[in-house]
Structure 1
């Protein structure tokens, strides 16, 4: 094993929302890239199933599963503590947990509780997770935080997801603020902004007909007229978690087939 391979084998990454959909794909790619990976999900069964699948590929000693709601400060502290106790370090955090959580609807039809829940899981949860891992990264003198925003922020589309778009816009501001504040500590903070990637989730945001119409419309508007799949995002996440991106911070990388550009 080379020195570079030994360093890669020691790195530890946390992926929130890692039990399903895009988060599960990120966790699997990071594990295949040599990282030890902690899969965190509000659905414990999903986290465990994802970890078992990853373990079959890279070994059970290189993956762990954690059940936690990222809006619960105590649970966030608990899984971060468990990761440090097991592996002694945290090199990367992928703040993926989130979602619209609600069927699309006019902005003024949401009540205050709906609005707050969407902002909590998409924005406040990222802040809580970053706050929990940063002391460990700061002590080590390095770290990578990859937040997940959305290209919806660029255009305010689709109509009917105002709380989600607002929260993801907040993620962009949080990313830039943390990059500026944590740079002197050797911590890089970036975000990816995925385009529309159809994935299976516990709760459907669009009807099947609406989802198909949205997928076809966005494909036609992209520079690349293809429907994205989860693996299309994984390379960007792995890159931003790796030493190859050490001179990149405060950036939002659109991974959307050129939709925002178009």
Structure 2
């Protein structure tokens, strides 16, 4: 199976590090022109400078705040004018926004909204912006990076994160139903725990050696995931091999646990 994206244009949000970076590199090494977007401009520049491209692939970087509707509309309009439109959208932007576990009665509305804004509102705003172009071409692939937290209990213990990731899956399923008649596939990946950001490194450290050992032993494949594990699943869902798959969530977590 040779999955490649020569002649296709891909938009990745939350692209500067971790899972997003792995996805950008996966597409660019298989011939796609990838617009890597994030609010972390220095890390975007490093990504562009150091990533390997192949088969005519290319990486362009743009600052994009997915929670700002004006920024989303303007930035995506400019990128579409430059590129001719997007064949694939991968929404990665999200996470716990620097928050930590606390009792629900201590959670502020601002803390709740901050997590919802990037994980759910961001997914909605970016999808809303790219869908008209995909509809016009009657073709497109949208992949949302959710979490195992969206399918059950979150290891973070953060109520808003578990709820937002479940909400993201609801959005994905509804869009899959709505956009299918236009030839647009909408799916999601639910990763297991990865050490891909400072927030998750702090979470990992909080377990201590015994807790870390117990987590790995609870995973049937006996290892933590890497960004490439998630990227490979995204590449499949964005490819022609997944043309009859929509409204689905694929757990990528090393096995049921």
**TM, length-normalised to structure 1:** 0.90
Flag the 1:67–1:108 CA change in 2: closer, same or farther, 3 A.
same
Partner of 2:192: 195
Q: Does 1:23 align with 2:45?
A: no
Partner of 1:254: 251
> Shift of the alpha carbon at 1:217?
3.2
Q: For residues 112-151 of structure 1, what are the structure 2 equivalents within 5 Å?
A: 112-151=109-148
Partner of 1:86: 82
Flag the 1:207–1:141 CA change in 2: closer, same or farther, 3 A.
closer
> Shift of the alpha carbon at 1:159?
5.4
User: Residue 136 of structure 1: SS of its match in structure 2?
Assistant: helix
Task: Output the CA distance in 2 between the equivalents of 1:211 and 1:108.
Answer: 27
> Aligned residues, how many?
255
User: Residue 5 of structure 2: SS of its match in structure 1?
Assistant: helix
Partner of 2:154: 157
Alignment deviations for residues 131-158 of structure 1 (CA, whole Å, 9 cap, x no partner): 0000010111100000111112333132
Q: 1:62 aligns with which of 58, 62, 81?
A: 58
Return 157-166 or 207-216, whichever deviates more: 207-216
Alignment deviations for residues 22-78 of structure 1 (CA, whole Å, 9 cap, x no partner): 100110001112111000001112222212223x53499822101111000111112
Alignment deviations for residues 222-254 of structure 1 (CA, whole Å, 9 cap, x no partner): 221112111111110111111111110000000
User: Residue 141 of structure 2: SS of its match in structure 1?
Assistant: strand
Question: Which segments of 5 or more consecutive residues in structure 1 lack a partner in the other structure?
Answer: none
Question: Which segments of 5 or more consecutive residues in structure 2 lack a partner in the other structure?
Answer: none
Partner of 1:74: 70
Q: 1:176 aligns with which of 173, 177, 180?
A: 173
User: Residue 206 of structure 1: SS of its match in structure 2?
Assistant: helix
Kindly indicate whether the alpha-carbon contact (under 8 Å) linking 2:204 and 2:212 is maintained by their aligned counterparts in 1: no
Q: 1:11 aligns with which of 2, 8, 11?
A: 8
The 4+ residue runs of structure 1 with deviation greater than 6 A are none
RMSD over equivalenced CA pairs, Å = 2.2
Flag the 1:241–1:44 CA change in 2: closer, same or farther, 3 A.
same
Flag the 1:248–1:60 CA change in 2: closer, same or farther, 3 A.
closer
Flag the 1:9–1:212 CA change in 2: closer, same or farther, 3 A.
farther
Partner of 2:94: 98
Task: Output the CA distance in 2 between the equivalents of 1:105 and 1:213.
Answer: 22
Partner of 1:242: 239
